[in-house]
């Protein structure tokens, strides 16, 4: 029989060895548990938008509540984190949101990863992607839960949820009702009384005073002989062409607001759509330190005061690095 103290000592040694063995094992990576809610709960401003063109391709936003399409999904993250989306919401790469080229914002879509069968519902509140064969851009968190965060892209099926999308639309319209159109008041005319002649058979004279009606002499058409003798009327000399209107200061001085510059043209066009409500936006390629970039600029602007005011608006969208440039 083993003495009691020796048994306790042996048990302690075994426990220490077991703990050491456990400590030497690599830690198991944490499992990404889905959040309690499947989509962003706060709806942004409801927006569909007008047709627009990117890289020669036209997009036609519409309320398509029967939308189903298969294609490539990608994701976007830190470059736009905290910035405004195309419908005025704030992009949070940790929320379950997405960018789509044409679906109304906000709307709810179900995304199925055709490579692994993962399914997730996300809220569309941004425009994009502007890349061939890609049909949707999801947030970083959504890409993690769908299982293609590391790969960057995946084959997916995107289906709109019509009932939930209409619900999001109603919530957004209640929070941010659209402005009523301004209609000018109809002109008001003056009312005047007229003295009418008495009815026939009333015993009173029905004659209208001579001053009320004045005969008009109708000239007789000239004879053929008179026409041949009459010299043709001389037309006034044509007006000289007016001098061209001077170009405005914006075009002359080239005042623009540069909101950002991106190596990926798709990101540049996403920002272009996000700032479209602020005025004309252009995407210009440039080369800096042998690296091709795409600048996003608003303008041209009329003067420095207008540029300063617009710069403040762009910065309020989260683009603190925006600046005034002259080209």
Q: What is the pLDDT of residues 145-176, one digit of tens each?
A: 999 999 999 999 999 999 999 999 999 998 88
Q: Based on the domain organization, do 257 and 163 belong to the same domain? A: no
Residue 167 has φ and ψ, to the nearest 5°, of -65, -45
pLDDT digits (tens, 9 = 90+) for 25-56: 434 334 444 444 444 444 568 999 999 998 88
Determine which of 9-18, 39-48, 71-80 has the lowest per-residue pLDDT on average: 9-18
Cα 112 to Cα 120: distance, rounded to the nearest angstrom: 7
Which residues lie below 8 Å from residue 168, measured CB to CB, with a gap of 6+? 43, 106, 107, 108, 123
pLDDT at position 205 is 53
Whether 186 maps to a domain, the answer reads no
Domain closes at, from 153, 175, 197: 175
**CB atoms inside a 10 Å sphere around CB 323:** 14
Task: For residue 306, give both structure tokens.
Answer: 């207008």
Q: How confident is the model over 291-305, as pLDDT tens digits?
A: 899 999 999 988 888
Considering the domain boundaries, does residue 189 fall inside one?
A: no
pLDDT at 179 over 80: no
Question: How much is the pTM?
Answer: 0.60
Of the residues 175, 192, 225, which one is the last residue of a structural domain? 175
Residue 30 lies in a domain: no
Write the CB contacts of 155 (distance below 8 Å, at least 6 apart in sequence): 70, 71, 72, 73, 113, 114, 115
Tell me the H-state helices in the chain. 4-24, 140-146, 162-175, 224-229, 249-253, 265-274, 304-316
Residue 27 placed within a domain: no
Asked if 274 contacts 126 with a C-beta cutoff of 8 angstroms, the reply is yes
For residue 321, being part of any structural domain is answered with yes
The per-residue pLDDT for range 216-229, each reduced to its tens digit, is 555 665 555 555 45
324 SS3 class:
strand
Q: Which domain holds residue 102?
A: 52-175
Q: Looking at the 3D structure of the chain, how many domains does it have?
A: 2
The CATH number of the domain where 281 resides is what? 3.30.70.1070
Q: Count of alpha carbons within 13 Å of 173, Cβ hemisphere only? A: 12
pLDDT tens digits, one per residue of 254-281? 899 999 898 888 888 888 888 888 889 9
Are the C-beta atoms of residues 90 and 318 closer than 8 Å to each other? yes
Q: Which of 175, 195, 228 is at the close of a domain?
A: 175
Residue 139 covered by a domain: yes
Q: With bands split at pLDDT 50, 70 and 90, how would you rate the model's confidence at 316? A: confident
pLDDT at 229: 52
Contact 269, 134 (CB under 8 A): no
Domain with 86 in it: what CATH number? 2.40.40.10
Does residue 153 lie within any of the structural domains? yes
């Amino acid at each position: 029989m083993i003495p009691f103290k020796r048994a306790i000592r042996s048990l302690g040694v075994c426990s220490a060895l077991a703990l050491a063995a456990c400590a030497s094992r690599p830690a198991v990576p944490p499992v990404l548990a889905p959040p309690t809610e499947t989509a962003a709960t706060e709806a942004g401003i409801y927006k569909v938008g007008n047709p627009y063109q990117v890289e020669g391709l036209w997009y036609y936003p519409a309320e398509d509540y029967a939308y189903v399409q298969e294609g490539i999904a990608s994701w976007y993250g830190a470059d736009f984190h905290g910035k405004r989306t195309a419908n005025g919401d704030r992009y949070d790469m940790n929320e379950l949101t997405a960018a789509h080229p044409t679906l109304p914002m906000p709307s709810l879509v179900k995304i199925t990863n055709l490579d692994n069968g993962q399914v997730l519902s996300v809220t569309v509140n941004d425009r994009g992607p502007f890349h061939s064969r890609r049909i949707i851009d999801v947030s970083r968190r959504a890409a993690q839960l769908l299982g293609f965060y590391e790969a960057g892209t995946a084959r997916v099926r995107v289906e709109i949820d019509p009932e939930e999308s209409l619900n999001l639309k109603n919530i957004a319209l209640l929070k941010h009702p659209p402005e009523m159109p301004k209609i000018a008041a109809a002109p008001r005319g003056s009312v005047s009384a007229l003295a009418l002649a008495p009815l026939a058979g009333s015993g009173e004279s029905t004659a209208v005073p001579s001053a009320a009606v004045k005969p008009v002499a109708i000239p007789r058409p000239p004879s053929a002989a008179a026409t041949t003798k009459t010299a043709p009327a001389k037309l006034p000399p044509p007006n000289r062409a007016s001098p061209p209107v001077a170009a405005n200061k914006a075009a002359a001085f080239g005042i623009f607001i540069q909101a950002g510059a991106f190596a990926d043209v798709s990101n540049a066009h996403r920002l272009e759509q996000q700032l479209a409500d602020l005025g004309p936006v252009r995407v210009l390629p440039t080369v800096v330190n042998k690296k091709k970039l795409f600048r996003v600029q608003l303008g041209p602007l009329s003067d420095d005061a207008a540029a300063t005011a617009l710069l403040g608006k762009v910065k309020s969208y989260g683009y603190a690095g925006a600046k005034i440039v002259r080209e």
